[in-house]
Amino acid sequence: MDTCKILIVDDEDRMRKLLRDFLVKANYRVIEAADGEAALNIFYNDNAIDLIILDVMMPKMDGWEVLEAIRKVSRVPVIMLTARAEERDELKGFSLGVDEYVTKPFSPRILVARVEALLRRTKDARPELLNVGGIEINKAAHTVTIDGAPVDLSFKEFELLTYFVENRGLALSRETILNNVWNYNYYGDARTIDTHVKKLRSKLGQKGDYIKTIWGMGYKFEVE
């Protein structure tokens, strides 16, 4: 799990540094936000975040508001941090879709262990078979069928389609797609995306209309 990226959201500099140090030592990549608005801006522009550690009490937007906004578009694992241990707060968190609940003060080592366990559960739960709008993707076999008929895709076309389907409904910038499908060290031209999308749409036939162009930004996979 040394490639997982974790977003820490907490308005206390000391707390963010403490968590960052322990997570980096455990070989995680870490990004930070000091308030709820900044956290959402980061999240909406980076679809490669694997887990969020989210404080409840913050300026501008509290953790509840951030979690509610995230759950409208994503099931990314969320660990909620709070200084209060009241039952109604925990119940509120779980009703909004929090995955783990940690009360301050806590052991950073225990938190890292919870991060590792939650990421393992999430990874194990990811389906190998994706089926949406008549498109079936078998990730294990690396095959795609449309209404039961096989479709011949190149490796990158397959990865691109899988990424679109797994992030359906989300607006994806060209830079985000490059970073996630081509890898983080790829310095290609954004036209690479447009070329592959054009080929992919053609091979998908009428289903290619699921890939919507967002002018001046990128693409969104949406099944109507």
Name all domains of the chain by residue range, CATH numbers in brackets: 5-125 (3.40.50.2300), 129-221 (1.10.10.10)
- Report pLDDT digits (tens) over 51-78: 999 999 898 899 999 998 888 777 789 9
pLDDT at 38: 94
Query: Is it the case that residue 85 has pLDDT exceeding 80?
Result: no
Rounded average pLDDT over 28-49: 89
pLDDT given at position 185 = 47
- The answer to whether residue 134 scores a pLDDT higher than 50 is yes
Average pLDDT over residues 76-100: 79
Residue 137 has what pLDDT?
A: 92
**Per-residue pLDDT for 182 more than 90?**
no
Burial of 63 (0-12, 13-18, 19+ CB in 10 A): buried
pLDDT above 60 for 187: no
List the beta strands (DSSP E) in the chain.
5-9, 29-33, 51-55, 78-82, 100-103, 129-132, 135-138, 143-146, 149-151, 172-173, 211-214, 218-221
Confidence of residue 188 (pLDDT cuts 50, 70, 90): low
Q: Looking at residue 59, what DSSP letter applies? A: S
Per-residue pLDDT averaged across 142-151, rounded?
Answer: 92
Question: Is the sign of the CA dihedral 211, 215, 218, 220 positive or negative?
Answer: negative
Lowest mean pLDDT among 5-14, 75-84, 148-157, 184-193: 184-193
Q: Residue 67 in contact with residue 97, Cβ under 8 Å?
A: yes
For residue 2, what pLDDT is reported?
A: 46
Per-residue model confidence (pLDDT) at position 19: 95
- Cα dihedral 176/123/20/179 (nearest 10): -20
